[in-house]
Amino acid sequence: MAKSPVTVTVTGAAGNIGYALLFRIASGAMLGPDVPVRLNLLEIPQAVKAAEGTAMELNDAAFPLLDSVNIYDDVNQAFEGSNVALLVGARPRTKGMERADLLAANGGIFGPQGRAINDHAADDVKVLVVGNPANTNAFIAAASAPDVPADRFNAMMRLDHNRAMSQLKEKTGTPISEIEKVVVWGNHSADQHPDVSYATLAGRPALEMLDAEWLSSYFVPTVAKRGAAIIEARGASSAASAASAAIDHVYDWVNGTPDGSWTTAGVASHGEYGVPEGLIFGFPTISRGGAWEIVSDLDISDATRAGIKRNIAAAQEELDAVRDLGIL
Ligand code: NAD
Ligand code: LMR
């Protein structure tokens, strides 16, 4: 028997990430090859026409799994019955800006969206925040949705995780499929702490194959500053790789991570590794039965402990800034 459609709400649907994301959702790449999708697109009124153009193309692609596409500029309608919500719609940074500079521009978007999710989404809703600064925006949305468990609000750290794997592949030639147990701790900002302490490359400990100097002087800053490097090169913020990371994140959340492996997800802390409860933080995570579990029993090095501490401070600084702006 055919499955009933899953309602997926995508905000910022007419933007660059939206354009790279929607076609992959409709193809089945995000939820699976036998799951029909009902797409609800949310845009600001000025961009509704552009979203209509994207919807025309989605329909013209004749995806067998695409049940329907609906476009809204009303936040409550857009989240009605939503099972999966991808909060992408927000301003991207441009050359020279740090992600924290986006707080004033974007922070105000996520309170009303959190409230609309609280009041209108399905009971099983899963929310992934992509719009920057993603961890803080996810915190704002979660804080505005008291009836939805905080564990259902994630921030996208998967792009950072994928970037780390890509650097390891480039350095060692190890295929991506044989790179395991990388993690990017913390905030999706230049403070993030990419960590290969537990990683294996084709079964061998990464720390035996990589020298400490390359890790600290090249690997960590290259991964942490990759977003800025892409803005510098393209003249625009990463879009297709961000969309791909969102697909990976939700796929794993819904379908589970492979046995014996983990990934990085930005999830609400329950106090693991000294991260204050509720902070949405990049952790090593395993997905089972539609829920993330934080891998909480790792013996962490002094460098990792320092990286986590730096990220707690960065995340709290962003939260203080939104409190000063009256957003929280
Ligand atoms: P874009 O400017 O191309 O598109 C953003 C879209 O959002 C626009 O169409 C705009 O009209 C829409 N929008 C703005 N406010 C909205 C609202 N209140 N409701 C609904 N839609 C709204 O930007 P983009 O390149 O698609 O990037 C989107 C966001 O994703 C940016 O904040 C960017 O920094 C962020 N991003 C995050 C990651 C990550 O890893 N977490 C990676 C890349 C980009
Ligand atoms: C990225 O990491 O590519 C995005 O967060 C965009 C940015 O501002 O860096």
Mean per-residue pLDDT, 260-269: 97
DSSP notation for 245-293? HHHHHHHHHHH-PPTT--EEEEEE-SSGGGPPTT-EEEEEEEEETTEEE
Residue 175 host element (H or E): none
Q: Annotated catalytic sites, by residue? A: 188
**Which atom of ligand 1 is closest in space to residue 102's alpha carbon?**
32
Every domain of the chain and the residues it spans:
6-155, 158-317
Res 97: pLDDT = 82
- Closest atom, ligand 1, to C-alpha of 17: 26
| Kind and range of the H or E run holding 3 | none
Q: Mean pLDDT over residues 121-125, rounded?
A: 98
Name the architecture of domain 6-155. Answer: 3-Layer(aba) Sandwich (3.40)
Say which residues have a Cβ less than 8 Å from residue 91's Cβ, sequence separation at least 6.
102, 105, 106
Atom in ligand 1 nearest the alpha carbon of residue 132: 32
Same fold? 6-155, 158-317: no
Q: Taking 80 as the threshold, does the pLDDT of residue 157 lie above it?
A: yes
Q: Where are the alpha helices (DSSP H) in 144-284?
A: 158-172, 206-209, 212-214, 220-224, 226-234, 240-255
- Residue 115 assigned as binding residue: no
Ligand nearest 228 Cα, by number?
2
At residue 1, the pLDDT reads: 65
The reply to whether ligand 1 has any atom less than 6 angstroms from the CB of 167 is: no
Report pTM: 0.98
Residue nearest to atom 2 of ligand 2 (CA): 227
Q: Is 17 in the pocket of ligand 1 (CB under 6 A)?
A: yes
Known binder of ligand: residue 89?
no
- Res. 204: pLDDT tops 80: yes
- Write the pLDDT tens digit of every residue in 59-68: 999 999 999 9
DSSP per-residue letters across 69-135? EEEES-HHHHTTT-SEEEE--SPPP-TT--GGGGHHHHHHHHHHHHHHHHHHS-TT-EEEE-SSSHH
Contact 122, 81 (CB under 8 A): yes
Between the CA of 279 and the centroid of ligand 1 the distance, in Å, is 22
The CATH class, in words, for 158-317 is alpha beta
State residue 103's pLDDT score: 87
Q: What is the pLDDT of residues 175-203, one digit of tens each?
A: 999 999 999 999 999 999 999 999 999 99
User: What confidence score (pLDDT) does residue 3 get?
Assistant: 87
- pLDDT range class, residue 104, cuts 50, 70, 90: confident
Beta bridge partners of 179: 201
Band the pLDDT of 102: cuts 50, 70, 90.
confident
**Cβ within 8 Å of residue 328, ≥6 positions away:** 111, 139, 140, 143, 319, 322
Task: Return the DSSP state at 144.
Answer: T
| Pair 130, 92: CB distance under 8 Å | no
Average confidence score pLDDT of the chain? 96
Cα 28 from Cα 7, distance rounded (Å) = 13
Rounded to the nearest whole angstrom, what is the distance from the C-alpha of residue 227 to the centroid of ligand 2?
4
**Kindly report the CA angle at 87 between 86 and 89, in degrees rounded to 5?**
125
CA distances from 123 to 66, 84, 147, 317 (A): 22, 11, 9, 32
Q: Which residue, by CA, sits nearest to atom 9 of ligand 2? A: 227
Read off the tokens for 120. 């209108």
